[in-house]
Amino acid sequence: MDFSVVRQPIFNRQQNKVAYQISFMNKTQFSDKCIPMSVFSDRSDPRKLNDLLVHAGLNQYSDNKVLIITFEKNTFKNIIDYFFSSRGLVIELSKQEVLDTELLDLVQKASRNNYFLMMDDRVLYNGFENYLKNISHVKISVKNKKRSLVESLINKAKRFNLRIILDDISSYEEFKQYSLCKVDFFKGDVFSKQNLVEVRTNTLNEGILLNVFQHVMTDNYCYKELTSIFESDIKLTHKLISFLNTSLYGRQGTIGSIKQAVCFMGENNMRKFISLLTAQELTQTRTTDIYTKAVSRARFCELVAINTGKNKTFIDRAFLAGLFSNLPDILGLDIQEALDMLKVNDEIKKALLGQECDLKKYLESVIAFEQADWQLLHSVTEGNDISPDLVGRLYNQMIREVRNNSYLH
């Protein structure tokens, strides 16, 4: 696979993840996120579109959910006669394309070939009704639009029986408002944020876990003191020993005591385990997507640090910076307030507050890739050990490891 890909989730009204938007990196035209023509170099018959996409490795991003893939006009023209064999794919036409007669002809042909086709909300304005008659989905961006306009566009899409994706949803209140319009699907950062009320009722501050977290965040922490803290909380001890005794951790034999567990884990792995447990505890009242996003970014940052030759201390901090870069979403707190509560390392704190340090570049490169902001990615990685191609390869590795729960090995 000679291209870099990032996926972004699509949710239904019940906030269940039902699809992924796939964005491709274009090194010369940063705004272009379309699938490259090279994916379709194998033109052997029968030319099944889905088979070609599987051959290119794109199925690894689906997790048995629908994929939405953006095409520019010329690539779309070349695959218009391919056999479209599955409901697991929606083709989105790039919003950079001119809505002319040539594009309309292609859309009409795709409709006759039973393609599931999506276009942006330009087609909902007057004069483009012929497009609406030949597509199955429409994506409406709510960004910088008045609610009355968005609702008008939604109503028009419904008159043509189109499936609707609302893009750029930025708050839970916005999601709730548009849910009343019976919209099918939603896309935006809001689904990776914790509800503030749920956070305030969380009992983390009242339990022992926060004490453990703050203890392991210090460099060269005291193993004896950590053992004593564990001994005061049976539930936490059970989680630690159960974790180590699973085959998932990749070891033989059993761990039978707190002291044995603490010594076996070592400083870095214990710090990682407690951090993950803390994040899991904080997100337990919501869908798993908040926790999964935090873990994915943590492992992503860690992999980039490992593959650029950083030492163990830096790698450990890269993992933690990635994990807790989601603190505002997880806690519903200002980032400074959250960092003060958890007492993280000063270098990690600098990176999370946007202050210049080596760790900040690693975090920024990962976030830029996640957001498919190719221009920012190239800017951040220019002149250092990180390359856009490396970040793309490591993203694929991270996806596999998080799916298999193997990121703690």
3-state secondary structure of 82: coil
Residue 369 sits in which domain range? Answer: 199-403
Residues 10 and 157 in one domain: yes
Q: In the predicted model, is pLDDT for residue 245 greater than 50? A: yes
Q: Is 177 a domain residue?
A: yes
The residue with greater pLDDT, 138 or 256, is: 138
Last residue of some domain: 139, 170, 192? 192
Is the confidence at residue 373, as pLDDT, over 60? yes
CA-only gyration radius of the chain, Å: 24
**CATH number of domain containing 349:** 1.10.3210.10
Domain membership of residue 409 (yes or no) is no
pLDDT of residue 120: 97
9 vs 289: CA distance, rounded Å? 9
Same domain, 112 and 221: no
For the cut 60, the answer to whether the pLDDT of residue 263 exceeds it is yes
How many C-beta atoms lie closer than 10 Å to residue 125's C-beta? 11
Q: In Å, what is the CA distance from 272 to each residue of 245, 266, 323, 408?
A: 17, 10, 9, 8
Lowest mean pLDDT among 45-49, 140-144, 381-385: 45-49
- Which of 174, 192, 210 marks a domain boundary? 192
Higher pLDDT, 265 or 365: 365
For 137-203, where are the E strands, in sequence order?
137-141, 163-167, 185-186
| 388 within domain boundaries | yes
Residue 256: is its pLDDT beyond 70? no
On whether both 147 and 50 belong to a single domain, the answer is yes
Res 288: pLDDT: 58
- The residue assigned the tokens 């010329």 is 74
Which pLDDT value is given to residue 331? 64
Q: What is the mean pLDDT of residues 289-298?
A: 83
pTM, rounded to two decimals: 0.72
User: Is the domain of 203 the same as that of 185?
Assistant: no
- Boundary-marking domain end, from 137, 168, 192: 192
Q: Are residues 175 and 232 in the same domain?
A: no
| Distance, CA of 370 to CA of 188 (rounded, Å) | 13
Whether 157 and 251 share a structural domain: no
Domain CATH for 125: 3.20.20.450
Q: Is residue 280 part of a domain?
A: yes
Whether 179 and 251 map to the same domain: the answer is: no
> Between these two residues, 20 and 209, which has the higher pLDDT value?
20
Burial class for 23, CB neighbours closer than 10 Å (0-12, 13-18, 19+): buried
168 and 31 share one domain: yes
Note whether 14 and 127 are same-domain residues: yes
pLDDT at 201: 41
% of the chain with per-residue pLDDT over 90: 44
Structural domains in the chain (count): 2
Q: In this structure, is residue 408 part of a structural domain?
A: no
- Residue 347 backbone class (left: φ over 0; alpha: ψ -120 to 50; beta: rest): alpha
For residue 106, give the nearest of 41, 128, 115, 164 by alpha carbon.
115
If asked whether residues 40 and 184 sit together in one domain, one would say yes
* Same domain membership, residue 239 and residue 286: yes
Instruction: Tell me the per-residue pLDDT of 326-355, one tens digit each, with 9 for 90 and over.
Output: 777 666 667 787 777 667 788 989 999 999
Residues 118, 147 within the same domain: yes
Helix H, strand E, coil C: the string for 235-286 is HHHHHHHHHHCCHHHCCCCCCCCHHHHHHHHHHHHHHHHHHHHHHHHHCCCC
Domain membership flag for residue 288? yes
Which tokens hold the place of 135?
Answer: 């597509």
Residue 338 maps to a domain: yes
Mean pLDDT of 233-259: 64
Determine the distance from the C-alpha atom of residue 308 to the mean position of all C-alpha atoms in its chain, rounded to a whole number: 22
Residue 29 lies in a domain: yes
CB 94 within 8 A of CB 72: yes
